[in-house]
Structure 1
Amino acid sequence: MPFADELISRHTAQSLTRAIRTAAPDADLTALRAAPQQIGPLPLRQRADLLRDALLTDIPGDYATLARTVRTARDKAPHFTGWLIWPVTSAVATRAVQEGDTASFDDALALLASLTGRLSSEFAIRTLLRHDLDRALGTVVGDWTGSADADVRRLASEGTRPYLPWSVRVPEILARPGVTVPVLDVLYRDESEYVRRSVANHLNDLSRDHPDVVVHAVRRWLDDPDGNTERLVRHGLRTLVKRGHPGALELLGFAPAVLDVDGPRLDRDVVPFGGSVRFTASIRNAGDSPARLAIDYIVHHRKANGGRTGKTFKLTTRTLAPGERIEVTREHSFRPITTRRYHAGRHAISVQINGVESDRAEFELATTDTP
């Protein structure tokens, strides 16, 4: 499996050049022909930008000229698909914004929708959203969410995500809480799991900054659900559940409970780099009614400056009858991983149940030469 940067490669640049040659046989394509030699040291998004700029250089003129070339390539070049579509759609959006008229803007949206089945146009639409959010959302909500094509419906949700990976941010989406919720309102009951998964990820993005907006939307959805709504909601609220947001927990049926919690208890006080620590906690329902529990645990990692930052991990969900007791246990590894740097010193583990954190059990993460 290729690294992410390699998704747009020298071969991608060469394929794009051949496709554009099919559509514009008289064009010199100097910039596109040079691109394979320039792409090597660049990360993925910069590779897409390089090919976008090369296409804009080699197909000069107005928006209509570029759009005509792209449509010809789409209709006549069989290899006009895959990751080369990212720079193509980005070029279309960029030229439309440069043109500055609504006809070009609207046509660019239509062209992106026609290409999204070959590779999602989710990255390119960000340029149009940044230029005129309300006009773009008018097409997204009015046309795309009702499309017969699941790829276009997914584009409506995915392209407007607040924190779409690999993409540029759209500041106005971040600054206007709930502006994309009308997109999700149409799609949360979509027949396609592909589309619903995007809705859940969009919802999770939105929860990072505007949890109350998310809870309000989900409460409406749960008043008018279908057979897939509960699963979508659980996935979309995953970050809020880890944060212990009361509204999100309540929507999922995790109400405040009267509990006796003993622990967590650790099996060691010193953990070597690369080693692990096992903890156990005893949980008893001390109330007089059944308690549905979302049980997580938090590792409080020592930072380089001596402070701590918590990372929440899923543990289990259980329903306890009045007086019922369970023990939960987990072994947590400190083996080296690329996404986290460990620092020697005092760490801690706590258990979080329905958003309420237990006492913390501390331990020392030792250097490799600690006996």
Structure 2
Amino acid sequence: MTDQTPAPLLKDILGPQALITIADAGTAASPRFDRQAFLAAATDGLDALSIMERVRHIAGALQPALPADYRAALAIVRAMAPKLTHGFQAVAITEFVARYGLGDFTASMAALADLTRFGTAEFAIRPFLAQDAGRTLAVMEAWSRDQDAHVRRLASEGCRPRLPWAARVPALKADPARGAPILETLKADPSLYVRKSVANHLNDIAKDRPDWVLDRLGTWPADEPQTAWIIRHALRTLIKAGDPRALALIGVRHGAAVDLQRFTVAPQTVRLGDTITLTADLRSISPGDQRLVVDYRIHYARAGGKTAAKVFKLKTFDLAAGVDANLSIRQTIRDFSTRRHHLGRHDVELIINGETMARTAFDVAPAS
């Protein structure tokens, strides 16, 4: 029998038990923390809220439980952080700084650098950037040289132009490259945690200013392993789009010298929950070795006969002269919160080094 138990909701990370944990942390941190006031305010209306709404709701509930003096309250909040048991609990208390600390810049910056070690302060820094981008970016640039990887990551992640779940910052929207000094400092960071943020930050900028990103990364040392990792991941959107300059920066020639012998999808008719298999057989006709970046693009059927395309990675590899390659990948056709399937024809393209080499299709049929 199939397990029909629904998956837990993300918002439940900040459910009733999390509120008790935060209350316990406050009680342990200071006798001035009003546990009853916090739980009453935090519990009220919680069920109807999403995960980020709960973050803001909990921050508001902390206010009546803490001293009226901001710095006194901040000392308690900082003492609470080590006693929390989940990163999102720490995100909720960093939001207290974002909501009530804009008038005390120095103390709030020090608190966010401390609190980010227990969850992340990437959301809490955004109101400070919106209020005074220049002053806040100067502090974040100093953070980019901190010994703690969590603080260095905050320097990059906090000023990402398109940070998910976060409010847009007008100054970064107008000029998404304002964090460039931070990225330069972190371009060979030893921490993968930090490098992922730098790559994501650059990928954000590439969606608005691709030439700026390509020009900048063209000056970075591609022979440095940490920097080369960032370059590859920062260019992923441009590579999926087949941008010749992006491909060149990762050592790939636009277009490929291959003879494509087969590209198929099976089965050609599926229902939600079924899995398709894409298969491609090709042979190198290049006189020398070549690096191949192989992707596939599915044109999802939409209402009214429209389509929406999405590119997926298949494989990146080196192919020797005259050698065959047999590629295969499976993908389950199921709905997500960000993608819902419609009945009908779904065209599929095979893309090699930025060029469409072949097409096939499958149909999504009604459930039987």
Query: Structure 2 CA distance, aligned partners of 1:177 and 1:144?
Result: 19
- Is the CA contact (8 Å cut-off) linking 1:302 and 1:308 kept in structure 2? yes
Q: How does 1:30-45 map to 2 (within 5 A)?
A: 31-34=37-40, 35-45=42-52
Aligned to 2:55: 48
Quick check: 1:9 aligned with 2:15? yes
Aligned to 2:225: 227
Deviates more, 1:292-301 or 1:209-218: 209-218
One-letter amino acid matched to 1:74: R
Quick check: 1:355 aligned with 2:354? yes
Aligned length: 359
Q: CA offsets, 1:184-240, max 9 Å, x none?
A: 1111212222222222222233333332222222222235x5332222322222222
Q: Compute the TM-score of the two structures, normalised by the length of structure 2.
A: 0.86
Q: How does 1:105-120 map to 2 (within 5 A)?
A: 105-120=105-120
Q: How does 1:76-225 map to 2 (within 5 A)?
A: 79=83, 82=86, 83-97=88-102, 99=103, 104-141=104-141, 143-222=142-221, 225=223
Query: Structure 2 CA distance, aligned partners of 1:174 and 1:212?
Result: 16
One-letter amino acid matched to 2:208: D
One-letter amino acid matched to 1:115: L
- Cα distance change of structure 1 residues 339 and 89 upon mapping to structure 2, 3 Å threshold: closer
What secondary structure does 2:221 align onto?
Answer: helix
How far apart are 1:24 and its partner, in Å? 6.0
Deviates more, 1:1-10 or 1:249-258: 1-10
How far apart are 1:156 and its partner, in Å? 0.8
Query: Structure 2 CA distance, aligned partners of 1:76 and 1:347?
Result: 52
- Cα distance change of structure 1 residues 2 and 187 upon mapping to structure 2, 3 Å threshold: farther
Aligned to 1:253: 251
How far apart are 1:86 and its partner, in Å? 2.3
In structure 1, the gaps of 5 or more residues are none
- Is the CA contact (8 Å cut-off) linking 2:98 and 2:125 kept in structure 1? yes
In structure 2, the gaps of 5 or more residues are 1-6
Q: 2:238 aligns with which of 234, 240, 262?
A: 240
How far apart are 1:113 and its partner, in Å? 0.7
How far apart are 1:255 and its partner, in Å? 0.6
How far apart are 1:49 and its partner, in Å? 1.0
- Cα distance change of structure 1 residues 220 and 277 upon mapping to structure 2, 3 Å threshold: same
Query: Structure 1 CA distance, aligned partners of 2:204 and 2:297?
Result: 21
How far apart are 1:2 and its partner, in Å? 5.8
Query: Structure 2 CA distance, aligned partners of 1:45 and 1:274?
Result: 30
Q: CA offsets, 1:25-53, max 9 Å, x none?
A: 45767652312243222111111111212
> What RMSD over aligned residues (CA atoms) do the two structures have, in Å?
2.8
Query: Structure 1 CA distance, aligned partners of 2:8 and 2:70?
Result: 31
- Cα distance change of structure 1 residues 8 and 365 upon mapping to structure 2, 3 Å threshold: closer
Q: 1:70 aligns with which of 74, 77, 97?
A: 74
How far apart are 1:363 and its partner, in Å? 3.4
Query: Structure 1 CA distance, aligned partners of 2:268 and 2:292?
Result: 28
- Is the CA contact (8 Å cut-off) linking 1:81 and 1:119 kept in structure 2? no
What secondary structure does 1:217 align onto?
Answer: helix
Query: Structure 2 CA distance, aligned partners of 1:278 and 1:30?
Result: 56
Query: Structure 2 CA distance, aligned partners of 1:267 and 1:235?
Result: 30
Q: CA offsets, 1:60-103, max 9 Å, x none?
A: 75xxx222222145348862674433233222232232x3xxxx
Query: Structure 1 CA distance, aligned partners of 2:264 and 2:30?
Result: 70
Q: How does 1:312-327 map to 2 (within 5 A)?
A: 312-327=311-326
What secondary structure does 2:224 align onto?
Answer: coil
Query: Structure 2 CA distance, aligned partners of 1:280 and 1:76?
Result: 54
- Cα distance change of structure 1 residues 353 and 300 upon mapping to structure 2, 3 Å threshold: same
- Cα distance change of structure 1 residues 66 and 21 upon mapping to structure 2, 3 Å threshold: farther
Deviates more, 1:155-164 or 1:80-89: 80-89
- Is the CA contact (8 Å cut-off) linking 1:264 and 1:350 kept in structure 2? no
Query: Structure 2 CA distance, aligned partners of 1:274 and 1:149?
Result: 44
- Calculate percent identity across the aligned residue pairs: 35
One-letter amino acid matched to 2:180: V
One-letter amino acid matched to 2:283: R
One-letter amino acid matched to 1:203: L
Query: Structure 2 CA distance, aligned partners of 1:87 and 1:175?
Result: 29
- Cα distance change of structure 1 residues 346 and 60 upon mapping to structure 2, 3 Å threshold: same
One-letter amino acid matched to 2:131: H
Query: Structure 2 CA distance, aligned partners of 1:77 and 1:219?
Result: 41
- Cα distance change of structure 1 residues 273 and 59 upon mapping to structure 2, 3 Å threshold: closer
Query: Structure 2 CA distance, aligned partners of 1:160 and 1:364?
Result: 42
- Is the CA contact (8 Å cut-off) linking 2:18 and 2:89 kept in structure 1? yes
- Cα distance change of structure 1 residues 49 and 277 upon mapping to structure 2, 3 Å threshold: closer
- Is the CA contact (8 Å cut-off) linking 1:73 and 1:80 kept in structure 2? no
Query: Structure 1 CA distance, aligned partners of 2:79 and 2:67?
Result: 21
